[in-house]
Structure 1
Amino acid sequence: MKNILLPTDFSDNSWNAIQYAIELFKDEKCNFFLLNTYTPMIYNLEYTSRFGLVEVMRDISKKNINDIQQRIESKFKNPNHNYNQISSFNTLTNEIQQLHEGNVMDLIVMGTKGATGLGEILFGSNTVHVIKSAKCPVLAIPSDFIFEPPNEILFPSDYDVSFNENRVKQIIDIAVTHNSRINILNVSDGYELSDEQEENKQKLAKLFKNVTHLFHSVNNESVTGAISEFQLSRQINLLVMINNKHSFFENLFFKSKINQIGFHLNTPFLVIPSGTKKN
């Protein structure tokens, strides 16, 4: 069974991501873990213990998680899905690290704050921290994004990653389940691929041999511009990237202002860490 972590702060945004995950994996057997972490804004253990603040926050967290599970089970009656509740006095990133060490999850699905204007932050800070630190794939769902099957997947790559089955397993699983087409996009800088890049491209072709896929090469001075143009020219339902340290990833997604990078994220975004391994 797939083990999927669903962090929630009980906002509409996190509820939207939960619904997306349930729809995406409706035909697969899954263990979903509903996670809420809580810490006082000003944390002093002696103070919070004396006044029972931790216990109050724990009780509120547990009640709200239970309410979320009841809401899910009343709306989505799916015998393929089991639900577990985790309420933890911890930071989100620390809790995720501990859960990963315990082999609790294969994938994290969480919401983003969305980006509706030039002054908006691309991702909420929690999402950024999780993507940067998580050792398993993270699927970020834009706020208010209504579920649609991922028929067209966009997978930009510079072919500087040595691909293997573990690194692309999540992509293949989604493509097989939803009969998706994977569009591999390489942004050319005017030079031919190196021997190593060509070898990595051929590895990718072999890994994707059982799913529909197309290789695209475009000339563009800006990787972000190429992605945006490709998304406009096709109905892309899911964007996927491997977060390897030598890629354009951090420059692309961790700038704070949209006008600094000229990129609007309006589709679900799957980030795969380069060190992804099977649990």
Structure 2
Amino acid sequence: MKKKILIPTDFSKNSWNSLRYSSELYKNEEVEFYLVHAFMVRNFSLDSFMVAEPGEKYFEEAKAFAENELEKLLDRLQILNIPNNHKYFTKAVYNSPILAVINYVETKDIDLVIVSNKGETNAIDEVLGGNTIDFMEKVRNCPVLVIPAETSFKEPNEIVFPTSYKTHYKRRELMHLNEIARITNAPIRILHVNNEEKLSAEQEEKKLLLEECFEGLTFTSHYLENADVKTGLNIFTQSRNSEMIAFINKKHTFFDAIFSKPMVIDLGQNAKVPVLALHDFRN
């Protein structure tokens, strides 16, 4: 069954990099890629009482520019030696990047969104980079994979999955993690960070459920104590040179515990490895 992947682009080098990465990651899979550019109109804003309309000069100029850049992007894709099982579609949308993505996920039944994070010095990359955390938090109906700036594709040596063992895991919520592990042959490292000496009975039950969800894959369980989640995750991934992180964004609970403001900066904008944000569909 073919996969539908949305890649928002601002025509920056970082959004191009996420495009290249995704093409390599799914090189053996049948995929439809949707390249979406959200454009604004000079002298107008989405929260203004004056809204640009199709047919107006500024609107048509902005749309024509966006569509022309998307055509150039399609031409540039030819250097990637696109596999026959990949197809690319483009769309220019008058909206903010986050709303454009949310709406497109719904209308096209998108399976995965892949975004670039913010470059350190390239100002043009701030358009999408500044929205990285919004994508991870607000795109709730499909996972979001964040590709760091300057990251060249290589199959991950392992995928670290931090967990509190308090989430009611479902196979369908983990299917994209399972798929990446399968197509890259990457083992999953389940990481639990806690100050408690042992798991509660409920956590033990959730641990068994999670292991059932990973059945057929290579995975190991790891435990760090006497550390907060952010510190423990950093220590674990850095000491092992782990090359991908995946987590379930259980809104306002586990997400907030991991992604305190410093962690948002670390993983949302300055991550050195790809980060896959999955979602608890009950939230």
TM-score by length of 2: 0.87
CA distance in 1, matches of 2:105, 2:80: 29
Q: Secondary structure, in 3 states, of the residue corresponding to 1:102?
A: helix
Cα drift, residue 39 of structure 1: 1.1
Q: Number of paired residues?
A: 271
- Tell me how far 1:18 sits from its aligned partner: 0.8
- What letter corresponds to residue 14 of structure 1 in structure 2? S
Over the aligned positions, Cα root-mean-square deviation in angstroms equals 2.7
Q: Could you say what secondary structure the match of 2:204 adopts?
A: helix
Q: Partner letter of residue 90 of structure 2?
A: Q
- Structure 1 Cα separation of the partners of residues 224 and 216 of structure 2: 25
| Contact 2:163/2:247 (8 A) holds in 1 | yes
- Preserved contact between residue 194 and residue 228 of structure 2 (Cα < 8 Å): no
Deviation by residue 1:54-109 (Cα, 9 ceiling, x = unmatched): 11110111111111111112322310100111111111222222222224310000
What CA distance in whole angstroms lies between the structure 2 residues aligned with 1:225 and 1:245?
Answer: 20
Of 60, 64, 70, which aligns to 1:59? 64
Residue 2 of structure 1: how far off its partner (Å): 0.6
The 3 A distance-change label for structure 1 pair 259 and 3 is closer
Summarize deviations over 1:112-165 as a string: whole Å, max 9, x none: 01569xxxx9x9321111111102100001111111112310000001111111
Aligned to 1:164: 170
Counterpart position of 1:245: 251
Matched, 1:234 2:258: no
Q: Evaluate the alpha carbon distance shift between residue 229 and residue 168 of structure 1 in structure 2; reply closer, same or farther with a 3 A threshold.
A: same
The answer to whether the Cα contact below 8 Å between 1:127 and 1:140 also exists between their aligned partners in 2 is yes
Correspondence for 1:101: 106
User: In structure 2, do the counterparts of structure 1 residues 246 and 97 end up closer, same or farther at CA, with 3 Å as the change threshold?
Assistant: closer
Residues 32-71 of structure 1: matches in 2 within 5 Å? Answer: 32-40=33-41, 42-43=43-44, 45=50, 52-71=57-76
How far did residue 256 of structure 1 move? 6.3
**Paired residue for 1:86?**
91
- Do residues 219 (structure 1) and 262 (structure 2) align? no
Q: Percent identity?
A: 30
Give the match's secondary structure for 1:216.
strand
Task: Give the distance between the partners of 2:103 and 2:281, measured in 1 at CA.
Answer: 17
Kept in 2, the 8 Å contact 1:4–1:108? The answer is yes
| CA distance 1:92–1:76, change in 2 (3 Å) | same
Q: Distance in 2 between matches of 1:187 and 1:246?
A: 18
- Note if 1:153 corresponds to 2:154: no
Q: Which residues of structure 2 form unaligned runs of 5+?
A: none
- Which residue does the alignment assign to 1:269? 275
TM-score computed with the length of structure 1 as normaliser: 0.88
Indicate whether 1:173 and 2:179 are aligned.
yes
Give the Cα separation in 1 of the matches to 2:95 and 2:177.
31
Q: Counterpart in 1 of 2:79? A: 74
In 2, the alpha carbon distance for the partners of 1:58 and 1:245 equals 35
In 1, the alpha carbon distance for the partners of 2:245 and 2:238 equals 13
Which letter maps to 1:206? E
Judged with a 3 Å threshold, the aligned counterparts in structure 2 of structure 1 residues 197 and 258 are, in CA distance, closer, same or farther, namely closer
Contact map agreement 1:6 1:109 (CA 8 A) in 2: yes
2:148 alignment partner, one of 142, 146, 150: 142
Q: Are residues 219 and 254 of structure 1, via their aligned partners in 2, closer, same or farther at CA, if it must alter by over 3 Å?
A: closer
- 1:31 corresponds in structure 2 to 32
Q: 1:256 and 1:97, CA in 2 relative to 1: closer, same or farther beyond 3 A?
A: same
What residue in structure 2 maps to residue 4 of structure 1?
Answer: 5
